[in-house]
Structure 1
Amino acid sequence: MELGSLDRSDDRPPYRQIADQLRAAIDRGDLAAGDKLPSEAVLMGHYEVARMTARQAIQELRSEGRVVAEQGRGVFVRLPAPVRRLASDRFARRHRDAGHGAFLADAEKAGVTPTVDEIEVSRKPAPDAIRERLKVDATDEVVVRSRRYLAEGVPVEMAVSYIPADLAEGTRIVEADSGPGGIYARLEEAGHLLDRFTEEITARMPTADERRRLRLGPGTPVLTVLRTAYDTDGRAVEVCDTVKAALAYVLEYDVPAR
């Protein structure tokens, strides 16, 4: 990208002018997702400013969540286009039949490449809030599946699913790779036809661990979605606790007026 110049007659401080020019380059697409920002040294030399000024300009973009710093590599543009999450469509059975989980369906609709990492599977008693939704006893173990989702290599979401152990045993739910269509496809194969989902959505600031794993800049909020899946017998078969990078998502709902 071509860097602009500072307007010394402008009331805005130099770091704000530099940040505005970098932001405009991102908005125009001159700097795309995954592109590296000009370094502090490059900004210092081009604009003839002190290191602190260059650093403040980059920090301005980090605080907005537009860029993320990677240790030893530099500062990179975050995913600029949101992952549109259409709640009324993402759990449709046709996606599972095609071997796609909900996140894969979201990513394909948004035109981004999805990946999953940090997959962990364990068995332990559920936290109280989860136990109440699953209607299991305090001493009952559940299968816990934790993972992180990325779009174009950028972390956008972390999710932890809790499944009653009697439903997960003997299925690929207890394996790291749950297979085509994910957890819900395996539950339906085991005879638990899904009927409905409930979701509770809140917004908050992330914990230190969430900031690190989602590579969030200072001041960047997260969305939390607590979802319960029910089968046709009315049994809660899974609770999923999700933390989403707020700037990466648009939550879209199509609600019938009847």
Structure 2
Amino acid sequence: MGNLTLPLIDPASDRAVFKQISDHLRGEIEAGRLQPGDKVPSESQLIEHYGVARMTIRQALRELQSEGLTVAEHGRGVFVRSRPPVRRLGSDRFARRHRDHGKAAFIAETEGIGGKPSVDSIQVDETQAPADIGDRLSLGSDARVIRRSRRYLINGHPVETAVSYIPAEIARGTQISTPDSGPGGIYARLEELGHRLDHFDEDIRARMPTRDEARALKLPPGVPVFHLVRTAFAEGGRAVEVCDTVMSSDAYVLSYHLPAR
């Protein structure tokens, strides 16, 4: 089994044998002796080492997969899951200085951690505002919005999907309604249109992903997501955008500066 030295089963333990085996392998991953992308010892190797039935080994391996630590590749084996660099989701990520330098928040922060940012699956259309979005934007029941959908990647690994809704009366016929929103992203375009941003409100909750979300973010079983809904307000109090975002939880740390006064 290469450089791995796995313990043996403790027959006196009241912990199930398959859980002891998953504990041993998890320990190797957490200690860095099994690195992202490394192949986990095969079923046959583990059977020989532990002297247990194949089903017991498969239970142990499924335990690791359910925790999002490993991925199984048909015909190749089980591998330690590769993860993107962790992006710190800070309270200043939408600071104007990023837009002044022609960079949207995702690009600026990803480059700040040494990652390579990219965006794909961009779709833009005009549609009637969903009821909850219309409420957040204080729009009438028949109001129209420009909807911008996209997926964000770090080093080619998908970490986030986002759908922005901007009142059509603001965005229709502008660069916001085209696939390429330009340097600094849609917030830079909103400010150029005279909607100087004042603050953002965010609601965040953790949940398990839907099947489509897991597929888009390439999430193995057991990995939850952060579901974040952000409303951008311009000076004067008008809501000018709502962004509905789903993020892979293991690619982000929520980090906020909270004044005590």
Q: Structure 2 CA distance, aligned partners of 1:52 and 1:253?
A: 45
User: Is this contact kept in 2: 1:141–1:164, CA < 8 A?
Assistant: yes
Per the alignment, residue 107 of structure 1 pairs with 110
Counterpart mapping for 1:1-258 below 5 A: 2-9=3-10, 11=13, 12-13=15-16, 15-33=18-36, 35-38=37-40, 40-41=42-43, 43-44=45-46, 47=49, 50-69=53-72, 75-79=79-83, 82-87=86-91, 89-258=92-261
Q: Structure 2 CA distance, aligned partners of 1:138 and 1:73?
A: 53
Q: How has the CA–CA distance of structure 1 residues 23 and 163 changed in structure 2, closer, same or farther, with 3 Å as cutoff?
A: same
Count of equivalent residues: 256
Q: Which moved more, 1:66-75 or 1:149-158?
A: 66-75
Aligned partner of residue 97 in structure 2, secondary structure? helix
Q: Structure 1 CA distance, aligned partners of 2:129 and 2:54?
A: 50
Q: Which moved more, 1:199-208 or 1:67-76?
A: 67-76
Compute the displacement of 1:237 (Å).
0.9
Q: How has the CA–CA distance of structure 1 residues 45 and 140 changed in structure 2, closer, same or farther, with 3 Å as cutoff?
A: same
User: Is this contact kept in 1: 2:123–2:148, CA < 8 A?
Assistant: yes
Q: Structure 2 CA distance, aligned partners of 1:240 and 1:69?
A: 34
Aligned partner of residue 88 in structure 2, secondary structure? strand
Q: How has the CA–CA distance of structure 1 residues 185 and 58 changed in structure 2, closer, same or farther, with 3 Å as cutoff?
A: farther
The letter of the residue matching 2:8 is: D
Q: Which moved more, 1:44-53 or 1:144-153?
A: 44-53
Question: What's the CA shift string for 1:180-217, capped at 9, x where partnerless?
Answer: 21111111122211111111112222212122222223
Compute the displacement of 1:121 (Å).
1.3
Deviating above 6 A after TM superposition, structure 1's stretches of 4 or more consecutive aligned residues are none
Taking structure 1 as the reference length, the TM-score comes to 0.85
Q: Structure 2 CA distance, aligned partners of 1:24 and 1:72?
A: 25
Question: What's the CA shift string for 1:4-53, capped at 9, x where partnerless?
Answer: 234133535554344334333433334444x1433645644763655434
Q: How has the CA–CA distance of structure 1 residues 158 and 45 changed in structure 2, closer, same or farther, with 3 Å as cutoff?
A: same
Q: Which moved more, 1:68-77 or 1:212-221?
A: 68-77
The letter of the residue matching 2:259 is: P
The letter of the residue matching 1:8 is: I
Q: How has the CA–CA distance of structure 1 residues 72 and 198 changed in structure 2, closer, same or farther, with 3 Å as cutoff?
A: farther
User: Is this contact kept in 1: 2:9–2:20, CA < 8 A?
Assistant: no
User: Is this contact kept in 2: 1:192–1:232, CA < 8 A?
Assistant: yes
Cα RMSD after superposing both structures:
2.6
Q: Please say which structure displays the higher CA radius of gyration.
A: 2
Aligned partner of residue 163 in structure 2, secondary structure? strand
User: Is this contact kept in 2: 1:19–1:57, CA < 8 A?
Assistant: yes
Q: Structure 1 CA distance, aligned partners of 2:244 and 2:48?
A: 46
